[in-house]
Amino acid sequence: MKRVSEEIYSRIDNNIYNIDGDRWWHPDFSLNLLRTLYNPFRVGYAKKLFEQLIKINTEKLSALEVGCGGGILSEEIAKMGFITTGLDPSEQSLNIAIKHANDNNLKIKYEIGTGENLPFQKDSFDVVFCCDVLEHVHDLPKVISEISRVLKNRGIFIYDTFNRTHLSKISIINILQEWKRWAIMPANLHVWEMFIKPDEIRSLLEENHLEWKEHRGIKPGISYIKMLHYLHKRAIGELTYEEFGKKFLMVESRSTQIMYMGYAVKSFSL
Ligand SMILES: C[S@@+](CC[C@H](N)C(=O)[O-])C[C@H]1O[C@@H](n2cnc3c(N)ncnc32)[C@H](O)[C@@H]1O
């Protein structure tokens, strides 16, 4: 797999993260969905992994979140006991993250930078998270190679992303971003061509000494009829993003057709 072409990359609007003001924690902005819609599933997945599968004590281990935005996931990582660092290219988002962590007495180190060029020494972290970010980056192979470089030997990489299928095109691009009756996201938030097939990420991981372990599908925890009903209510402003997210909880699915989460373990020091 190669980095995406300039033409495809020019279509994604990563500037949305540079808008002034709090677009992350405010209940009436779409980025807040990461908290209400995604956090319960992905934090639950990570906790289950650490407590039941890998059986590690997260207290005092170091974790990095690549593409942390306003800190919605980083704060949960810190609450799990990790010595936490969040990294993002958006200075505006980092300012929101720093303020929110300070207001909530959470000790998190935030740094500016991109996943393609991580400003850390090799073997720096026990765990790296990269959630809802891989489908936004210009050079995915470089990001994966950088994540592998900064992970310690036997360190864990946890990620989630969108699959590139007909179903993800209809649900994530057409329904959520384009078709006015239901669209609740900005039109260029995601570009379908930048979505990643599970086998593509698996190959990239293995090329970078990250031993792939599993993929779990993610789907809305309500019926498609109810989902469209709530989407429409949000699209016409009858529900805030926060209210919408709480009705629409994501759950594990056997199908990875739309969205999936997984992890890999670094198999030796590079
Ligand atoms: C959808 S947000 C996800 C934020 C956070 N991971 C979460 O799930 O709460 C995508 C984030 O990726 C960041 N991003 C975009 N390109 C990136 C890159 N090349 N390297 C690292 N982060 C990037 C954006 O600035 C934005 O904060």
Q: Mind listing the pLDDT tens digit for each residue in 3-41?
A: 999 999 999 999 889 988 888 999 888 899 999 999 999
Mean pLDDT of all residues in 59-67:
95
Structure tokens given for 201? 């990420």
Mean pLDDT of all residues in 58-69:
94
Atom in ligand 1 nearest the alpha carbon of residue 115: 20
Which pLDDT score, from 0 to 100, does residue 236 have?
93
Answer yes or no: is pLDDT of 151 > 90: yes
Where do the domains of the chain lie? 6-163+191-218+259-266
CA 82–ligand 1 middle distance (angstroms): 20
Task: Determine how β-strand 151-162 pairs with β-strand 125-131.
Answer: parallel
Bridge partners, 218 (sequence order): 252, 259
Which pLDDT score, from 0 to 100, does residue 160 have?
98
pLDDT digits (tens, 9 = 90+) for 220-240: 889 989 999 999 999 999 999
Ligand 1 within 6 A of 115 CB?
Answer: yes
Which pLDDT score, from 0 to 100, does residue 36 have?
92
**Closest alpha carbon to 107 in 134, 75, 136, 138:** 75
Q: Which of 12, 18, 29, 88 to mutate to test the pocket of ligand 1 (most atoms within 8 A of CB)?
A: 88
Mean pLDDT of the residues in the chain: 94
> Confidence class of residue 270 from pLDDT cuts 50, 70 and 90?
very low
Global pTM reads 0.96
Answer yes or no: is pLDDT of 268 > 80: no
Which pLDDT score, from 0 to 100, does residue 244 have?
87
Q: CA dist 144 to 3, 66, 193, Å?
A: 11, 11, 18
pLDDT digits (tens, 9 = 90+) for 76-124: 999 999 999 999 999 999 999 999 999 999 999 999 999 999 999 999 9
pLDDT digits (tens, 9 = 90+) for 203-222: 999 999 999 999 999 998 89
Which pLDDT score, from 0 to 100, does residue 19 have?
85
Instruction: Name the region of 241 (left: φ>0; alpha: ψ -120 to 50; beta: rest).
Output: alpha
CA 207–ligand 1 middle distance (angstroms): 23
Which pLDDT score, from 0 to 100, does residue 260 have?
98
pLDDT digits (tens, 9 = 90+) for 126-141: 999 999 999 999 999 9
Ligand 1 within 6 A of 90 CB?
Answer: yes
| CATH node for 6-163+191-218+259-266 | 3.40.50.150
Among protein residues, the one whose CA lies closest to atom 16 of ligand 1: 137
Answer yes or no: is pLDDT of 242 > 70: yes
Among protein residues, the one whose CA lies closest to atom 11 of ligand 1: 67
Q: Which of 168-172, 253-257, 265-269 has the lowest mean pLDDT?
A: 265-269
Query: In whole angstroms, what is the distance from residue 105 CA to residue 117 CA?
Result: 29
